[in-house]
């Protein structure tokens, strides 16, 4: 997996690049701002970019804007946005239109580099990954008329873990059930959300999109 790392703080950027390299990721470049990031992605065409949400010059949402541009211009490059603060509204902005190939994690997750690497791999496979804290907030704030209101507690639990980027095996391990049980419940979730099987769509991504919009 080839990756680029973008963060305006050199120590953070270099430290993350070193951790990823030690974890077996080929880091092909580092960027200190969104312009340099876009140039680097255009040159290297990496599999994935990790992007700080707040970058120069305003340190507001430049990373968020860059993430969307990367997905639009270079769809083969997935993006994981890292945020130091819990910003549910930013996660919604990033993922609400088309979450495929995108992730939003709190920077504290980087303390366990395996979590970040797993998220990077998942987004390169077309999945989306949402920080568990964000998922918890979204599940609490759902509207009464939301399609999620038709789900059972177990189905909501599995949808939440799905949104976190967990595989069926990962969900089974978390809930202490069999993978077959997870597959059965996932099928029930898809059916209740009106997501019919199709070779042209990823129903897991569409289910997470339903969660974000609800």
Of 122, 131, 113, the closest CA to residue 27 belongs to: 113
Query: Which residues lie closer than 8 Å to 62 by C-beta, 6 or more apart?
Result: 33, 34, 54, 55, 56
Least reliable range by pLDDT among 82-91, 99-108, 113-122: 82-91
Strand partners, 27: 3
Per-range mean pLDDT, top range of 40-49, 59-68, 195-204, 205-214? 40-49
**Residue 143 has what pLDDT?**
66
Least reliable range by pLDDT among 119-133, 138-152, 177-191: 138-152
Q: By the 8 A CB rule, do 102 and 182 touch?
A: no
How far is 43 from 84, CA to CA, in rounded Å?
28
Secondary structure of residue 194 in the 3-state scheme: coil
**Residue 183 has what pLDDT?**
93
**DSSP assignments along 14-59, one per residue:** HHHHHHHHHTT-EEEEEESSHHHHHHHHHHH--SEEEEESS-TTTT
Q: Which tokens in the block code for residue 189? A: 């979730």
How far is 78 from 18, CA to CA, in rounded Å?
20
Element (H, E) at 2: strand 2-6
Scored b (16 or more CB within 10 A) or e, 82-107 reads bbeeebbebbbbbbeeebbbbbbbbb
**Residue 88 has what pLDDT?**
67
**DSSP assignments along 74-131, one per residue:** -TTSEEEEEESS--HHHHHHHHSS--TTEEEEEGGGGGSHHHHHHHHHHHHTT--EE-
């Amino acid at each position: 997996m080839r990756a680029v790392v973008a963060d305006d703080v050199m120590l953070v950027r270099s430290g993350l690049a070193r951790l990823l390299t030690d974890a077996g990721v080929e880091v092909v470049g580092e960027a200190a701002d969104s312009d340099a990031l876009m140039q680097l992605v255009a040159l290297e065409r990496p599999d994935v970019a990790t992007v700080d949400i707040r970058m120069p010059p305003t340190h507001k949402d430049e990373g968020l804007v860059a993430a969307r541009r990367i997905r639009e211009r270079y769809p083969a490059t997935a993006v994981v946005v890292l945020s130091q603060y819990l910003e549910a509204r930013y996660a919604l902005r990033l993922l609400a239109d088309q979450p495929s190939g995108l992730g939003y994690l709190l920077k504290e997750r980087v303390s366990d580099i395996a979590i970040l690497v797993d998220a990077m791999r998942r987004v390169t496979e077309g999945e989306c990954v949402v920080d568990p804290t964000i998922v918890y907030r979204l599940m609490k704030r759902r509207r009464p008329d939301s399609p999620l209101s038709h789900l059972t507690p177990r189905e909501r639990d599995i949808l939440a873990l799905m949104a976190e980027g967990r595989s069926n095996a990962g969900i089974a391990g978390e809930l202490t059930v069999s993978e077959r049980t997870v597959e059965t419940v996932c099928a029930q979730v898809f059916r209740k959300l009106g997501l019919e099987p199709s070779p042209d769509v990823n129903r897991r991504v569409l289910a997470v999109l339903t969660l974000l919009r609800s």
